[in-house]
Structure 1
Amino acid sequence: MIVWVIAIGALALAVLAVVNALVFLRPSQSDVVDNDASVSILIPARNEEQRINLCLAYASAQSALVTEILVYDDQSNDATAAIVKAWENIDRRIRLIGGDALPAGWHGKPHACHRLAENATGTWLLFVDADARLHSGAVERLLATAAHHSCTLLSAWPGIKVKSLAERLLMPMLNFYVFALFPSPLQLISNAPRYALAHGACLLCHRDAYWRVGGHAAVRDELFEDTALARHWRACGQRALCCDGQQLCTVRMYAGLREIWRGFEKNFYPGFRRKWLFVFVLAIHVALFTVPCIGSIVFPTMPFAVAASSVLVARVALALRFRQPIWPSLFHPIAELFLIALGISSFLRWHSRRGVEWKGRLYRSSTVEHGA
């Protein structure tokens, strides 16, 4: 009986993943925008000497709708600032903003975004991560999509660039992790905060609405500031949406296994606002996405076969939608075991005295707890 419950659960979530793969909001193909629109590209950067050069090259290639490109140097101790200063001589729109000491109660990225917004003059603010590469025409299509759907916050879910074997095996799990559980069609039907989704690599906000809702100051202590901002945006009565941004923006989030582990160890547990939700989602991944795949090999039965096939269909559907290779789907059990271990490690680190270190800053559990 229990194995059939597992099979039905896996099948139901596979259906959700396939639906998401089919109907996840696509950006407008139009490049016709309001003639009065102006865009400030805002890039928070801390120790990004390996990435900032290409980021600025792609940002600089955007059209004249982009009136300024501001980079906030968040007290980097590498060559980030020097690289940006060199770019100031190439493109007059580029300007470096020196970083301040991080105020009490703030996390680094929300503070950097807040300072960037304070210095921006565009009618639209486009927050872009230093590892993001904006495609040609991205700004026009973002503006056209926001206008078409009457939203004042639009995030583009980026294409994920991978190079190493570890990245090819593990990074597709990010899309599976999100789109096997998030009902993306409902974001268009309801403006409830629970249907908010955003990716900080590419986040477009109308400046007036940004300040009206309090901007990044409202999520100053969030590590998942992107989706937290989208939730807050909706709670304030403004419309926030997330679209498929593969044709707009590409990121290589982490280079190699070590960076993947450290990056997601920092983010995994804080992504949940309640301990029970973290445990619940991890239990789903164990019971519905891992046990059937292993069970179908060790104890081949019809329920396990149905569940394992459902997981495989979901992985393939999402791989096709997000233009990723299909073969890593065959190694799903390995990726799931990695994800589960990562989640447990993230939880333990956040609840230990060690905390999590990221780019020279230490974060502990008191900075992420929202409830039991």
Structure 2
Amino acid sequence: MTVLALLAVALALLPAFLALANLFALRRAAPGTPAPDGLVSILIPARNEAANIGPTLAAALASTGVPIEVIVADDHSTDGTAAIVAEFAARDARLRLIAVPPLPPGWTGKNHACHVLGQAATGRHLLFIDADVRLAPHGAAALAGAAETVGAALVSGVPRQITGTWGERLTVPMINFLLLGYLPVPLMRRLKDPALGAACGQLVLVEADAYRRVGGHGAIRESLHDGVRLPRVFRKAGLATDLVAASGLATCRMYTDFAQSWAGFSKNAHEGLATPRALPVWTLLLGGGHVLPLLLAIAALLGAGSLPMAGAALAVSLLTRAAITLATREDPWTIPLHPLTVALALALQWNALLRPAQAGVATWKGRTYPAG
């Protein structure tokens, strides 16, 4: 038990140190000033988003500090998405609605819609946002300014995640925890190694010429995980990518319940952690650093093992999660649930990897694709 407790402490300290360095690096990043003539094209792929698209458009059109155009690609919606966009477009000439052609073989839906949007855009920078993302008025200008300041061809960040149910609160916080607890942001900024590339697909700004030069979303046409794959395409071409603190730049409510969260995170698991080589390592890192401490603390309370060591590991794990949660302005009531959140994340990844009926396909937005 002592050896396990020492392992738990060590595995809990690793993300603690990385989170400290990352939060400091992101906090120090200057917002920058966008080019005065730098049009930003805000590009929104939309498929059956009638419940979301109105507030998203209102927020995008309220952007300040930089000239904008807004283009929505209606991807064969069967609800009122197109009609809502058309109503907004009739009142604001900066907004255009375009129809996405039929999905070609070998493409996933979002990447195809983004490719079509990229072809239609005229801006110096292209800001791809999901249809459930609400930009802050200064969000587009801040991202364009950050790109200009650091000379990055791609800049991304995680919007403040809105979680309304316990199913969301138990799953969504893993986005920021994995990014800030396990990606060395200072090293990512120094090196252009593709393996260090990371983005949040909800909010990605790219320099238009660079985007088209590397093939844009066409270079990852088969992918369901643009947040991982797109920055790696840029880095393979020798271009810099960067992350910024984006909780003040946009908000997003990804899902509305546990079932949606499970399905949503499962769809891209094979391009993330759920691979035969990666998942055992991540199970050790995450399980050992964040689930094991709670189990050891319970065992110590029952008379087996050292409570001080188990308690120390659990405290480090929860304090790390608290620092990330508060810095990203997520729901603080999720902090005590952290061990369960990590356990659920690992269960989701192992389920995606091991269940034969689901391992070969991923279904999303009414379409089914080969997984991985």
Q: TM-score, normalised by structure 1?
A: 0.92
Name the structure 2 match of 1:231: 232
Offset of residue 352 of structure 1: 3.8
Name the structure 2 match of 1:103: 104
- The CA distance in 1 between the partners of 2:281 and 2:8, in whole Å, is 14
- The CA distance in 2 between the partners of 1:319 and 1:95, in whole Å, is 37
Structure 1 residue corresponding to 2:323, chosen from 293, 300, 317: 317
Amino acid at match of 1:167: E
Offset of residue 3 of structure 1: 3.2
1:344-359 maps to which residues of 2 (within 5 A)? 344-349=350-355, 352=358, 355-359=361-365
Q: Aligned in 2, Cα 1:226/1:340: closer, same or farther, shift over 3 Å? A: closer
Name the structure 2 match of 1:5: 7
Amino acid at match of 1:117: G
**SS of the residue aligned with 1:170?**
coil
Instruction: Confirm or deny that 1:189 pairs with 2:190.
Output: yes
Offset of residue 217 of structure 1: 0.9
1:1-372 maps to which residues of 2 (within 5 A)? 1-24=3-26, 28-30=30-32, 32-63=33-64, 65-272=66-273, 274-300=275-301, 301=306, 302-349=308-355, 352=358, 355-365=361-371, 368=372
Query: Does the Cα contact within 8 Å between 1:159 and 1:249 map onto a contact in 2?
Result: yes
Query: Does the Cα contact within 8 Å between 1:351 and 1:364 map onto a contact in 2?
Result: no
Deviations 1:318-341 (A, max 9, x none): 112112243322122222222222
Over the residues paired in the alignment, what is the CA RMSD in angstroms?
2.0
Moved over 6 A (4+): none
Query: Does the Cα contact within 8 Å between 2:41 and 2:123 map onto a contact in 1?
Result: yes
Query: Does the Cα contact within 8 Å between 2:130 and 2:203 map onto a contact in 1?
Result: yes
Is there any run of 5+ residues in structure 2 with no aligned partner, and where? none
Deviations 1:50-106 (A, max 9, x none): 111111011111138344211111111111111111111111111111121111111
Q: Aligned in 2, Cα 1:210/1:257: closer, same or farther, shift over 3 Å? A: same
Compare 74-83 and 269-278 and name the one that shifted more.
269-278
Is there any run of 5+ residues in structure 1 with no aligned partner, and where? none
Q: Aligned in 2, Cα 1:363/1:256: closer, same or farther, shift over 3 Å? A: same
- The CA distance in 2 between the partners of 1:184 and 1:39, in whole Å, is 26
- The CA distance in 2 between the partners of 1:268 and 1:18, in whole Å, is 27
Deviations 1:215-266 (A, max 9, x none): 1111111111122110110110111111111111111111122211111121
Compare 11-20 and 152-161 and name the one that shifted more.
11-20
Compare 95-104 and 17-26 and name the one that shifted more.
17-26
Query: Does the Cα contact within 8 Å between 1:102 and 1:108 map onto a contact in 2?
Result: yes
Offset of residue 349 of structure 1: 4.9
Deviations 1:101-125 (A, max 9, x none): 1111111111111110111111111
Query: Does the Cα contact within 8 Å between 2:74 and 2:99 map onto a contact in 1?
Result: yes
Amino acid at match of 1:123: R
Q: Aligned in 2, Cα 1:310/1:161: closer, same or farther, shift over 3 Å? A: same
Q: TM-score, normalised by structure 2?
A: 0.92
- The CA distance in 2 between the partners of 1:354 and 1:145, in whole Å, is 39
- The CA distance in 2 between the partners of 1:125 and 1:25, in whole Å, is 24
Deviations 1:185-215 (A, max 9, x none): 2122212112211011111111111111111
Compare 335-344 and 351-360 and name the one that shifted more.
351-360
**SS of the residue aligned with 1:187?**
helix
- The CA distance in 2 between the partners of 1:297 and 1:18, in whole Å, is 28
Q: Aligned in 2, Cα 1:354/1:185: closer, same or farther, shift over 3 Å? A: closer
Query: Does the Cα contact within 8 Å between 1:269 and 1:278 map onto a contact in 2?
Result: no
Query: Does the Cα contact within 8 Å between 2:276 and 2:353 map onto a contact in 1?
Result: no
Amino acid at match of 2:286: H
Amino acid at match of 1:310: V
Offset of residue 161 of structure 1: 1.3
- The CA distance in 2 between the partners of 1:47 and 1:349, in whole Å, is 29
Q: Aligned in 2, Cα 1:352/1:316: closer, same or farther, shift over 3 Å? A: closer
Amino acid at match of 2:322: V
Query: Does the Cα contact within 8 Å between 2:65 and 2:141 map onto a contact in 1?
Result: no
Query: Does the Cα contact within 8 Å between 2:136 and 2:248 map onto a contact in 1?
Result: yes
Query: Does the Cα contact within 8 Å between 2:53 and 2:132 map onto a contact in 1?
Result: yes
Query: Does the Cα contact within 8 Å between 1:29 and 1:141 map onto a contact in 2?
Result: yes
- The CA distance in 2 between the partners of 1:349 and 1:159, in whole Å, is 32
- The CA distance in 2 between the partners of 1:216 and 1:361, in whole Å, is 18
Query: Does the Cα contact within 8 Å between 1:224 and 1:267 map onto a contact in 2?
Result: yes
Q: Aligned in 2, Cα 1:285/1:312: closer, same or farther, shift over 3 Å? A: same
**SS of the residue aligned with 2:318?**
helix
Percent pairwise identity? 35
Amino acid at match of 1:7: V
Deviations 1:273-322 (A, max 9, x none): 84311232133222221121122122352332222111111111111211
